[in-house]
């Protein structure tokens, strides 16, 4: 069982082992996509493979899409060479369910995988062709918050960014410089509209993307490297920088999952560690729960991706969804378990949920102390969200999340994860901040943990 276009032609062997195969003509999908690309994604890592590519896969299977997506990798080009190309852009998604079962599928929705490398003339030329196409509607991103940075902590331009500002859009080296140069190609092809959609897990992510791209447009215009109209194009209604909230756990490919796939007969599953220390494998493992809420601002239109489970709304609602998740319904509960998991010697979050006292702690923090002041976005029900967190997500025995990982940088997280709730109690005319019992206990637990590590 080889993960390749030729290998999956023997459908019976794969299906007998419980794998869901693409239910569409992959070659036709690839041709359709190359002729009329509509979606390009930057960041070829696990979250993209488990979420974005799977959304399109499901819609292709249902016949609601006839085109796939294109992925570009701008940080670690080896991912394309050593994982996508050798497997004909196919991947295996192992969905780890809370009931102890694993759903296995082969994803074939990636039509092209390209390095975002300005030194690779063929690949970079192809990316410029894609950005010049009338049909292109959206560019999405999972490049981590650091990917949008153009300056260091002191406010000084990063060396590659400083060089790109001077040298212009010809062969930029920085990530945002390369993206800006592709947008310039779209501008020069007729100022065509597009939605730039960050789906990274950071607050007001679209603003971070806009700020970086606009900085390049302004610098290049000031230095005479682009037409003055490029700044106006980036700042016009033709280019949107939408906000989004994404939520899905996709841990590093786990050895236990690899063993299961090997027992099925899947070959060549050995992971690759690139020169940049990226750990990639032909498969990704992920939880089943996922949310992607996007501000509905698409100047060139979009397909009905609600059929793939995505939720579209206005910017204010996206902001409320993020606050609901970060300040009440997920992140604070994670921090509760992280702090006391470290203190009590637990090594998996799921094991903590078998402790009746810790389970009661997070239930009180979520349902009794958080819900009365939660920011309700309307598009998602806060109580149902917490229900899913506590009964499906953190109890999942397959998820290798550790309290030690989640407890990292807790001192920087407390103000957001608990401060907004405490502030709401102080400002409330009907609630008394003295009624809070478990949130102060978590803060005390963090202080105890901090003293241990001093």
pLDDT of residue 296: 98
Measure CA 173 to chain center. 23
CB 207 within 8 A of CB 243: yes
**Could you tell me which of 451, 136, 432, 94 has the C-alpha nearest to residue 285?**
94
Lowest mean pLDDT among 13-22, 32-41, 98-107, 135-144: 98-107
Report the pLDDT averaged over residues 187-193.
98
What percentage of the chain exceeds 90 in pLDDT?
92
Burial of residue 384 (number of CB atoms within 10 Å: 0-12, 13-18, 19+): exposed
Residue 98 has pLDDT above 90, yes or no: no
State which H helix or E strand residue 343 sits in.
helix 331-344
Q: What gap in Å lies between CA 183 and CA 193, rounded to an integer?
A: 10
The 3-class SS string of 33-58 reads: HHHCCCEEEECCCHHHHHHHHHHHHH
* CA end-to-end span of the chain: 52
**Residue for token pair 């498969």:** 283
The 3-class SS string of 362-427 reads: HHHHHHHHHHHHCCCCCCCCHHHHHHHHHHHHCCCCCCCCCHHHHCCCHHHHHHHHCHHHHHHHHH
Predicted model pTM? 0.95
Residue 399 has pLDDT above 90, yes or no: no
Residue 128 has pLDDT above 90, yes or no: yes
Burial of residue 156 (number of CB atoms within 10 Å: 0-12, 13-18, 19+): exposed
Residue 37 has pLDDT above 70, yes or no: yes
pLDDT of residue 270: 86
Report the pLDDT averaged over residues 67-93.
97
Confidence of residue 454 (pLDDT cuts 50, 70, 90): low
**Residue for token pair 């909230």:** 245
Report the pLDDT averaged over residues 121-141.
98
Residues 340-391 pLDDT 10s: 999 999 999 999 999 999 999 999 999 999 999 999 999 999 999 999 999 9
Burial of residue 125 (number of CB atoms within 10 Å: 0-12, 13-18, 19+): exposed
pLDDT of residue 449: 94
pLDDT of residue 136: 98
**Could you tell me which of 126, 139, 137 has the C-alpha nearest to residue 36?**
137
Report the pLDDT averaged over residues 179-191.
98
pLDDT of residue 331: 95
Burial of residue 242 (number of CB atoms within 10 Å: 0-12, 13-18, 19+): buried
pLDDT of residue 271: 87
Q: What gap in Å lies between CA 186 and CA 79, rounded to an integer?
A: 26
Report the pLDDT averaged over residues 105-133.
98
Q: What gap in Å lies between CA 23 and CA 66, rounded to an integer?
A: 12
Q: What gap in Å lies between CA 233 and CA 202, rounded to an integer?
A: 25
Residue 453 has pLDDT above 80, yes or no: no
């Amino acid at each position: 069982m080889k993960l390749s276009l030729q290998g999956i032609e023997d459908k019976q062997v794969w299906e007998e082992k419980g794998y869901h195969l693409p239910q569409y003509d992959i070659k036709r999908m690839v041709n359709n996509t190359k002729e009329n690309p509509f979606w390009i994604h930057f960041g070829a890592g696990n979250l993209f493979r488990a979420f974005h590519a799977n959304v399109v896969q499901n819609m292709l299977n249902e016949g609601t899409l006839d085109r796939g997506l294109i992925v570009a990798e701008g940080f670690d080009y080896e991912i394309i060479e050593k994982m996508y190309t050798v497997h004909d852009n196919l991947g295996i998604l192992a969905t780890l369910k809370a009931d102890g079962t694993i759903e296995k599928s082969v994803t074939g929705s990636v039509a092209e995988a390209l390095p975002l490398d300005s030194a690779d003339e063929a690949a970079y030329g192809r990316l410029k062709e894609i950005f010049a196409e009338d049909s292109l509607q959206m560019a999405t991103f999972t490049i981590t918050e650091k990917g949008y940075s153009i300056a260091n902590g002191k406010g000084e331009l990063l060396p590659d960014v400083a060089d790109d500002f001077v040298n212009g859009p010809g062969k930029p080296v920085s990530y945002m410089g390369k993206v800006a140069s592709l947008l310039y190609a779209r501008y020069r092809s007729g100022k065509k509209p597009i939605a730039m959609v960050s789906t990274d897990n950071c607050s007001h992510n679209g603003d971070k993307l806009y700020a970086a791209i606009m900085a390049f447009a302004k610098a290049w215009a000031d230095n005479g490297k682009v037409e003055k109209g490029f700044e106006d194009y980036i700042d016009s209604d033709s280019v949107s920088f939408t906000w989004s909230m994404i939520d899905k756990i996709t841990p590093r490919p786990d050895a236990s999952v690899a063993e299961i796939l090997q027992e099925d007969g899947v070959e060549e599953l050995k992971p690759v560690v690139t020169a940049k220390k990226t750990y990639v494998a032909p498969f990704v493992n992920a939880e089943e729960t996922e949310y992607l809420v996007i501000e509905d601002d698409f100047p060139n239109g979009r397909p009905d991706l609600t059929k793939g489970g995505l939720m579209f709304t206005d910017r204010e609602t996206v902001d409320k969804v993020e606050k609901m998740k970060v300040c009440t319904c997920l992140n604070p509960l994670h921090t509760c378990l992280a702090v006391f998991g470290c203190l009590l010697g637990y090594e998996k979050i799921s094991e903590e949920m078998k402790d009746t006292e810790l389970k009661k702690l997070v239930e009180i923090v979520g349902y009794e102390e958080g819900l009365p002041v939660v920011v309700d976005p309307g598009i998602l029900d806060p109580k149902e969200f917490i229900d899913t967190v506590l009964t499906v997500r953190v109890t999942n025995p397959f998820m290798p999340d550790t309290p030690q990982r989640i407890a990292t940088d807790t001192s920087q997280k407390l103000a957001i994860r608990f401060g907004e709730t405490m502030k709401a109690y102080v400002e409330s005319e009907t609630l008394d901040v003295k009624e809070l019992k478990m949130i102060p206990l978590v803060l005390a637990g963090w202080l105890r943990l901090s003293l241990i590590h001093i």
